[in-house]
C-alpha cells in the first residue's frame, strides 16, 4: 500500500505511481479474490434459499455486511504509513468530505442492487441468474463510453462480443431451468428483478471509476479501500432498514432452527456469505482502480460459465453443450482482452536501443 505524504497531497489529483510489477501483483490479487467471491458467493446464497431460507432482505444484507473486515487492511496501511512517515503527523484517514458524500450515494445504490439481485436469486436457479447478471457487461460498456469516455480497442470489442454471444447461447437453454412448483409470476418477477440488478450494476461500475477520476486528491489503494468501506457501510444500512421494516431480525432464530442443514450450519453459511461477498466488492473496486470499469465487467462475465460448472457440481444442474460453448467463448474473450492490454503496455514502454557506445571524442 502506498505512502501518502504531504508533498503528494499537493500534486494534481491522480493515481499513485507504483512500479509495474507491484501494479500487476495487486491487480492479480484483486482478480483472485474477485474470482473466489463471484464464483462461490451466489452458490451460498442460492443454498440458503434451497434449504429453507426465505428472507430476501437478510440475503441482501449479507452481500455487504462484511464491511468491518476492511478495517484489517486499513490498520495495516496506517501502521505502515506511521512507520515510514519519518516522524511527521499521519492522517488517520485519507477520504475528504466530498468523496465521502459520493461514496454514500454509491453505497445506497449498491444496497438497492443487492436487494434486486437477492430477490431474483430467490426464485431463479444459479445458472439462469448468472446468465442475466452477465448482461451487465453490455450496460457497463455503454455507460462507461458516455461517463468515463472509455476507449475501445479491437481486442476489447472482441471480448465484449464473445462474452455477449456466450450469454445469449446460455439464455437459449435457460427455459428448462425453471424450478418445480414455482408459479409463472414468481419466475418472471425474479427474472426482471435480476435483469434490473444487472442494469443498475452496469451503471455503478463506471460511476465508481468516474468518482476516482473526479476525486480532488491523490487516489491510492488505501483510499480505494476506505471508499469501499464507506460504500459497504451505507449499503448495509440500506439493507438493515429493509430488514427492520420486514421483521427479519425476529425471524432469524426460528429460521435457523428449521434450516434443513442444521442451526449451526445456518449461521456458518451466513458468516461465509458475508466474507465472500466482501471479496466480490473489494476485488471489483480494485479491478476498476488498476484497470477500468470495463475490465471489472469482463471479469464478472467470464465467471458466468464458472458459476455454471459449480452449480452442476454442487446443485446437480445439467451441463449442456451450450454451457460448454459459452465457457470456451468466455475464456477466448478474456484472453483477447488481456492480450490487448499486454500490447498496449508494450507500446507505452517501448524498448529503446541505446545505440553504439560513445567514443569519448566530442
The domain locations on the chain are 38-347
Instruction: Say what the pTM is.
Output: 0.78
pLDDT at site 134: 73
Give me the DSSP letters along 58-93: HHHHHTTTTGGGGHHHHHHHHHHHHHHSTT----S-
**Long-range contacts of the stretch 72-78 (C-beta < 8 A, 24+):** 73/1, 73/225, 74/222, 74/225, 74/226, 74/229, 76/1, 77/1, 77/222, 77/225
Residue 219 DSSP label: B
pLDDT at site 362: 41
Which region, left, alpha or beta, applies to residue 182 given φ > 0 means left and ψ of -120 to 50 means alpha? beta
User: What does the radius of gyration of the chain's CA atoms come to, in whole angstroms?
Assistant: 22
Cα separation of 278 and 64, whole Å? 6
Low-confidence stretches of the chain (pLDDT beneath 50)? 1-14, 351-362
pLDDT at site 358: 45
pLDDT at site 13: 45
pLDDT at site 87: 67
pLDDT at site 10: 41
pLDDT digits (tens, 9 = 90+) for 216-232: 888 888 898 999 999 99
pLDDT at site 171: 62
Amino acid at each position: 500500500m502506498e505512502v501518502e505524504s504531504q508533498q503528494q497531497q499537493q500534486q494534481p489529483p491522480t493515481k499513485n505511481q507504483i512500479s509495474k510489477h507491484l501494479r500487476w501483483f495487486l491487480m492479480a490479487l484483486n482478480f483472485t479474490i474477485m474470482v473466489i467471491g463471484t464464483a462461490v458467493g451466489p452458490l451460498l446464497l442460492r443454498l440458503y434459499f434451497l434449504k429453507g431460507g426465505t428472507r430476501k432482505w437478510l440475503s441482501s444484507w449479507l452481500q455487504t455486511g462484511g464491511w468491518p473486515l476492511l478495517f484489517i487492511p486499513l490498520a495495516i496501511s496506517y501502521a505502515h504509513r506511521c512507520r515510514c512517515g519519518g516522524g511527521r503527523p499521519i492522517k488517520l484517514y485519507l477520504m475528504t468530505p466530498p468523496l465521502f458524500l459520493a461514496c454514500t450515494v454509491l453505497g445506497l445504490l449498491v444496497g438497492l442492487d443487492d436487494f434486486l439481485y437477492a430477490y431474483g436469486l430467490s426464485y431463479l436457479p444459479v445458472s439462469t441468474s448468472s446468465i442475466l447478471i452477465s448482461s451487465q457487461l453490455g450496460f457497463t460498456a455503454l455507460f462507461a463510453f458516455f461517463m468515463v469516455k472509455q476507449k475501445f480497442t479491437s481486442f476489447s470489442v472482441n471480448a465484449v462480443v464473445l462474452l455477449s454471444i456466450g450469454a445469449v447461447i446460455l439464455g437459449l437453454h435457460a427455459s428448462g431451468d425453471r424450478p418445480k412448483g414455482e408459479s409463472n409470476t414468481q419466475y418472471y418477477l425474479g427474472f426482471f428483478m435480476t435483469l434490473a440488478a444487472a442494469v443498475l450494476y452496469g451503471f455503478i461500475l463506471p460511476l465508481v471509476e468516474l468518482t476516482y477520476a473526479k476525486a480532488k486528491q491523490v487516489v491510492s489503494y488505501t483510499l480505494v479501500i476506505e471508499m469501499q468501506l464507506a460504500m459497504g457501510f451505507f449499503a448495509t444500512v440500506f439493507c438493515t432498514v429493509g430488514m427492520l421494516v420486514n421483521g427479519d431480525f425476529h425471524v432469524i432464530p426460528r429460521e435457523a432452527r428449521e434450516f434443513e442443514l442444521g442451526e449451526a450450519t445456518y449461521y456458518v453459511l451466513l458468516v461465509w456469505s458475508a466474507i465472500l461477498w466482501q471479496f466480490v466488492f473489494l476485488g471489483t473496486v480494485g479491478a476498476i482502480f488498476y484497470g477500468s470499469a470495463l475490465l471489472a465487467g469482463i471479469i464478472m462475465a467470464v465467471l458466468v460459465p464458472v458459476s455454471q460448472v459449480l452449480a452442476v457440481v454442487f446443485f446437480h444442474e445439467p451441463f449442456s453443450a451450450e454451457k460448454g460453448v459459452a465457457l470456451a467463448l468466455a475464456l477466448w474473450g478474456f484472453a483477447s482482452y488481456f492480450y490487448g492490454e499486454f500490447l498496449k503496455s508494450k507500446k507505452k514502454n517501448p524498448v529503446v536501443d541505446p545505440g553504439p557506445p560513445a567514443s569519448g571524442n566530442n
